[in-house]
Amino acid sequence: AETVRLLSSSQVITSVVSVVKELIENSLDASATTIDIRLENYGFDKIEVRDNGNGIKVADVPVMAIKHFTSKISSSEDLEQLTTYGFRGEALGSICCVSEVLVTTKTADDDISTQYVLDSTGHITSQKPSHLGQGTTVTVLKLFKNLPVRKQFYSTNKKCKEELKKVQDLLVAYGIIKPELRITFVHNKAVLWQKNRVSDHKMACMSVLGTAVMGSMVPFQHRCEDPEINLSGFLPKADSSSSLTSLSSSERSFIFINERPVHQKDILKLIRQYYSVLMQKDSTRLYPVFFMNITVPASAVDVNVTPDKTEVLLHYKESVLFAVENVLKTLYGPLPA
Ligand code: ADP
Ligand code: MG
C-alpha cells in the first residue's frame, strides 16, 4: 500500500514547482489576498507558502491531508460547475507522502493559530499553539527524501536554477490573472520577485512585463454567445516594429482559461502564425508577448485530464479557436492564402 501511495503521489507532485502550484492554488481557493513563498536550497530543504486566507476549520483539520478529502465539492454536479482550483483532495496528502509537512492555520473563529505536524499518510502526529495571524502556512521539508532518483534529477546547479525560474514563471502567471493578489517570492532569504496589489489586469501586466513592453501592446476584447465565450487581454500592436514584443529568448505568453494558467498549443500556434506574418519572420523563432484571458462556461472545461491540471480539455475548443482567430484577423488582417 505504501508503494501505491508513493507512486500515485509522485504523479501529482513531480517537482518543486508542482508543490508550489498546489499550495498557492489552495491559498487562492481560501480567498487569500497575500501569499508569501519561501524556498530554501531551491525548495529541496524547505518550501513554505503562507497566506492570509480563510484558514482551515478545526473539523477539517484531521482529514485535510487524507487522500480524496476536499472541502470544496460535495457532488458530481459541483464538479461540472467548478469554480475552485482544487477539487480532488489529493495535493496535501501527496505532498505528505514525499516530504515532511507542517500546517499552521487560523480561521476567523479561532482565537489563536495552531501548528500541526503531519506524517507520511497525512495523519496528525502532534500539535501546538502558534503565533501566526489568520490564514494558513504550509511548510514542506525534505522534499523527495524517499525518492532519491527524483532528487538526483535536480543534482546539477543548472537544473536547480531552471526549477527556480519555473516557480517564478508560475507565480508571475498567477500574479497577472489575480491583480488584487500580493505575492512575495524568496529564495534563501533573497527576494527574487514581488508583486503588489493592483487594480486590474492591465496594471498587473504592466508590473510584470514592464511599461515599455506594455506600451507596444493593444487591448482586445471579444465575446460570443452560445456557448458564451469571452476573450480579453493584450496582444502586440499591429504596427509593432519593436522587438520588445517578440522576445525569442524567453517565452512571455500567458493564456488563462477560467483563471487557470494553461498550455494551449493550438492557441499559441494561431497567435504565432498571425504575428509572424505581420513581423515577416519565421514563426518558429517568434515568441510574441501576450496575455489572453479566456472565460467559458465552467461546464465546458475538464481540468481532470492531467494530474497537475495544466492541460485542460475544452469541450468547445473549435469555438474558442474560432473566436481567437477572429481577434487575430481583426488586429493583424487575414493570413495570406
Ligand atoms: P483540494 O484542494 O483538492 O481540496 P488539497 O489536498 O489541496 O485538496 O487540500 C485539502 C483540503 O485542505 C482543502 O479542501 C482545504 O479544505 C484544506 N486546505 C489546504 N490548504 C489550505 C489553505 N491554504 N487554506 C485553507 N484551506 C486549505
Ligand atoms: Mg488543492
Helices (H), the chain: 2-12, 16-29, 76-80, 91-98, 148-153, 157-177, 201-209, 211-215, 265-279, 317-332
Q: Which atom of ligand 1 is nearest to the CA of 136?
A: 23
CA distance 86 to 94: 13
- Centre of ligand 1 to C-alpha 71, Å, is 7
Nearest residue to 309 via CA among 160, 93, 43, 91 = 91
pLDDT given at position 305: 58
Q: Is the CB of 320 under 6 A from ligand 1?
A: no
Residues 6+ apart with CB under 8 A from 200: 179
Q: All 3 cell numbers of residue 330?
A: 481583426
Is any atom of ligand 1 closer than 6 Å to the C-beta of 70? Answer: yes
Could you tell me if the CB of 71 is within 6 A of ligand 1?
yes
| Any ligand 1 atom below 6 A from CB of 135 | no
Alpha carbon of 17 to ligand 2 centroid (Å): 14
| Residue nearest to ligand 1 atom 12, measured at CA | 64
Q: Is the CB of 229 under 6 A from ligand 1?
A: no
Q: Is the CB of 36 under 6 A from ligand 1?
A: no
**Residue 197, helix vs strand vs coil:** coil
Which of 26, 79, 116 maximizes ligand 1 atoms within 8 Å of its Cβ, making it the mutation to test the pocket? 26
Q: What is the pLDDT of residue 337?
A: 78
Which ligand is the nearest neighbour of the Cα of 30?
1
**Model pLDDT, residue 318:** 85
pLDDT value for 5 = 78
Residuewise pLDDT in 10s, the chain (337 residues): 678 777 777 777 889 999 999 999 999 999 999 999 999 999 999 999 999 999 999 999 999 999 888 888 777 777 667 788 887 888 999 999 999 999 999 999 999 999 999 999 999 999 999 999 999 999 999 999 888 888 888 888 898 999 999 999 999 999 999 999 999 999 999 999 999 999 999 999 999 888 888 988 999 999 998 788 999 999 988 875 656 666 544 568 899 999 999 888 899 999 988 988 877 777 667 778 899 999 988 877 766 656 565 666 677 788 899 999 999 999 998 988 7
C-alpha cell at 12: 501529482
DSSP assignment of 33-67 = SEEEEEEEGGGTSEEEEEE-S----TTTGGGTTST
Instruction: Say yes or no: CB of residue 94 within 6 Å of ligand 1.
Output: no
CA 314/CA 335 separation, integer angstroms: 25
Q: How many CA atoms lie within 13 A of 100 on its CB side?
A: 9
- Beta-carbon contacts of 201 under 8 Å, excluding residues fewer than 6 positions away, are 176, 177, 179, 232, 233, 291, 293
Residue 28 CA, ligand 2 centroid: distance in Å: 9
Q: What is the DSSP letter of 87?
A: -
Atom of ligand 1 at shortest distance to CA of 25? 2
314-81-63 Cα angle (round to 5): 115
Q: Which of 287, 284, 280 is nearest to 238 (CA)?
A: 280
Which ligand has the nearest atom to the CA of 89? 1
91 lines ligand 1 (CB under 6 A): yes
Residue partners of 203: CB distance under 8 A and separation at least 6: 179
255 in Cβ contact with 314 (< 8 Å): no
- Among all chains, which residue has been given the C-alpha cell 482559461? 257
First to last CA, the chain: 59
Query: Among 20, 34, 48, 92, which is best to mutate for testing ligand 1, by the most ligand atoms less than 8 A from CB?
Result: 92
The answer to whether the CB of 49 is under 6 A from ligand 1 is no
- What is the CA(283)–ligand 2 centre distance, in A? 37
